[in-house]
Structure 1
Amino acid sequence: MQNVLALLFREEIQQLRFKDLKLLIFVRIVHIQKSITSTF
């Protein structure tokens, strides 16, 4: 599952400008934290 996410993440990064990377990473971290919180 992690490999699939990594591939999607890489494709998204390639489509974005460099200045959008920080926002994308921040959104991903928040989303992951919410998923972990809701799982447990």
Structure 2
Amino acid sequence: MKTQHKLLTVKEVVQILVDKEVISEKVAEVLLIPRYW
């Protein structure tokens, strides 16, 4: 897997984690709530 040099947005990172089943979709929803950033 090649290293990506472009910066990922929070949303993209969260989506990747969900895809890899690192986190659940419920956790992802919480992470994407703006007040946490």
- Whichever of the two has the greater Rg, that structure is 1
Per the shorter chain, which TM-score range?
A: 0.3 to 0.5
Structure possessing the higher relative contact order (Cα contacts under 8 Å, 6 or more residues apart): 2
Q: Scaled by the length of structure 1, what TM-score is found?
A: 0.38
Q: Whose helix proportion is higher, 1 or 2?
A: 1
